């Protein structure tokens, strides 16, 4: 069946409604936070403020079922919403709660867990971080060793998690823990929801190459966590984790954000010249690379539309989540490299104060007068570039995703 790429009159009317909402509610400060982000995470305070505004309209969780606070939108409406938000420079909401653990709670949680956690995730009262990777278990996640030993109504937790985004801001962490070592490594894993204020939890920030301390290592030393916070069944957390990873890897549309970033690059390229005085937009090498990124983004968008059509028909995304993760993250890296080349020598000074980082910046004191060499986009180009290097590693490295595709689609 041919793919219809035209929005219906109803969808166009919805697009106009979203644009009007953005015009009425997206403040200049919140917009700047979205436009000047230095990683996939936007300024925490601005992101939470935008979540409150969206929640008041009932639009904070478009992908949730309506009975739990979702919008009831069609897949096309969700895509339009995402595209309009990206085009307007609106900050992204933290994915850990709304876009990740909430779906696992909806699918595997008890009625009591759903009633307690989901409203608090919507309001932002509960802010989540993810406890998956360990120093010895990254892409080979099933090798995790953080132990959870049952003691009455509690588990006693020992071990650590690493690369834990926003652990200093979060008041809850969803963790994969080892409750049994007797079987295969995928067995004996339990999915546990843990309050971050329990005695014995120690959060130690990791300073990234961009200077931000958005990542952390979290240590658990004889932490006593309630067993009632198991999600799903004991020793069957791997099933929950695989379900959640579909949302982490392929649950978002990459193309709208990439198109917005390329629009900014194109506008900058029209105003800058190369060493020969030729506008960069007319420079054969630069314009060819820009065109290549545009074409690849357009192809990615068509693929996202095809997946959207499958979802509308009630079909599973399946291994397409791995494909989209590979294409989206590697294209994002190409776009951030293009922005670096556009900024040229102006990208060399370290100027994090020009942007709106997703976490505090260490070892840097901004100039008293706030001076920035070049434009803010020049200044944040290297920060985005360095942060983007992690895109092909987190949520399962792209090498792992290619192995998944080789097995699922090629039978290798």
Q: What is the pLDDT of residues 154-201, one digit of tens each?
A: 999 999 999 999 999 999 999 999 999 998 889 999 999 999 999 999
Average pLDDT for residues 72-97, to the nearest whole number? 90
CATH number of the domain at 137, please.
Answer: 2.40.110.10
- CA 34, CA 85: separation in Å to the nearest integer? 10
For residue 223, which phi and psi values (nearest 5 degrees)?
-80, 130
284 and 389 both lie in a single domain: yes
Model confidence over 108-135: pLDDT tens digits? Answer: 999 999 999 999 999 999 999 999 999 9
| Same-domain status, 191 and 47 | no
Specify the pTM: 0.88
Q: What integer pLDDT is reported at residue 1 of this predicted model? A: 42
Position 315 in a domain: yes
Q: Are residues 257 and 229 in the same domain?
A: no
Q: How many domains does the chain have?
A: 3
- pLDDT at position 252 is 62
The tokens describing 227, both together, are 């067993």
Q: Identify the bridge partners of residue 174 per DSSP, sorted by sequence position.
A: 130, 193
Tokens of 219: 């240590």
Nearest CA to 212 out of 83, 5, 386, 17 is that of: 386
**Of 42, 74, 93, which residue constitutes the final position of a domain?**
93
Domain that holds residue 79: 9-93
Separation CA 129–CA 96 (nearest Å): 6
Are 35 and 89 a contacting pair, CB within 8 Å? yes
Contact 362, 211 (CB under 8 A): yes
Give domain status of residue 121, yes or no.
Answer: no
- C-alpha 42/C-alpha 195 separation (Å) is 24
Catalytic residue list contains 67: no
Query: Of 183, 211, 236, which one is at a domain's C-terminal end?
Result: 236
The answer as to whether 298 is a domain residue is: yes
Query: pLDDT at residue 250 above 70?
Result: no
More confident residue, 308 or 349: 349
Residue 245 lies in a domain: no
Are residues 161 and 228 located together in one domain of the fold? yes
Domain's final residue, options 201, 236, 271: 236
E strands in 13-52:
none
Residue 99 covered by a domain: no
- In whole angstroms, give the CA distance from residue 238 to residue 300: 30
Residue 292 CB: number of other CB atoms within 10 A? 12
- Tell which residue, 148, 159, 163, 165, has the closest CA to residue 202: 159
Identify the active-site residue in 212, 248, 301, 304: 248
Q: Residue range 38-57: average pLDDT? A: 94
Instruction: State yes or no: pLDDT of 3 exceeds 60.
Output: no
Do residues 264 and 364 both lie within one domain? yes
């Amino acid at each position: 069946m041919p793919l219809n790429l035209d929005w219906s009159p109803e969808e166009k009317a919805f697009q106009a409604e979203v644009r009007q909402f953005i015009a009425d509610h997206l403040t200049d400060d919140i917009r700047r936070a979205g436009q000047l982000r230095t990683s996939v995470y936007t300024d925490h305070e601005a992101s939470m403020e935008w979540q409150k505004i969206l929640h008041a309209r009932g639009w904070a969780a478009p992908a949730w079922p309506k009975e739990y606070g979702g919008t009831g939108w069609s897949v096309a409406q969700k895509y339009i919403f995402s595209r309009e938000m990206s085009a307007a420079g609106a900050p992204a909401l933290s994915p850990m709660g709304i876009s990740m653990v909430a779906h696992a709670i909806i699918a595997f949680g008890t009625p009591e867990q759903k009633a307690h956690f989901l409203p608090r995730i919507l309001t932002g009262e509960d802010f989540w971080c993810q406890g998956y990777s360990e120093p010895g278990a990254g892409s080979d996640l099933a090798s995790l060793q953080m132990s959870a030993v049952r003691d009455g109504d509690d588990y006693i937790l020992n071990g650590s998690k690493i690369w834990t985004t926003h652990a200093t801001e979060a008041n809850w962490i969803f963790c994969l823990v080892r409750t049994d070592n007797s079987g295969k490594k995928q067995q004996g894993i339990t999915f546990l929801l843990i309050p971050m204020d329990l005695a014995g939890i120690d959060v130690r920030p990791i300073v990234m190459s961009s200077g931000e301390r958005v990542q952390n290592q979290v240590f658990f030393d004889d932490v006593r966590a309630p067993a009632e916070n198991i999600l799903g069944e004991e020793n069957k957390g791997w099933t929950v984790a695989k379900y959640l990873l579909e949302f982490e890897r392929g649950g978002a549309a990459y193309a709208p954000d990439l198109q917005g970033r390329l629009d900014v690059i194109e506008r900058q390229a029209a105003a800058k010249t190369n060493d020969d005085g030729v506008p960069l937009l007319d420079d054969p090498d630069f314009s060819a690379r820009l065109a290549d990124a545009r074409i690849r983004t357009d192809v990615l968008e068509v693929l996202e539309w095809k997946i959207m059509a499958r979802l509308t028909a009630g079909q599973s995304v399946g291994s397409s989540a791995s494909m989209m993760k590979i294409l989206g993250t590697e294209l994002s890296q190409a776009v951030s490299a293009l922005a670096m080349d556009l900024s040229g020598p102006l990208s060399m000074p370290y100027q994090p104060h020009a942007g709106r980082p997703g976490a505090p910046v260490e070892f840097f004191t901004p100039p008293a007068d706030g001076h920035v060499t070049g434009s803010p986009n020049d200044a944040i180009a290297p920060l985005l570039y360095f942060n983007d290097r992690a895109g092909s590693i987190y949520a399962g490295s792209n090498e792992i995703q290619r192995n998944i595709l080789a097995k699922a689609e090629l039978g290798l």
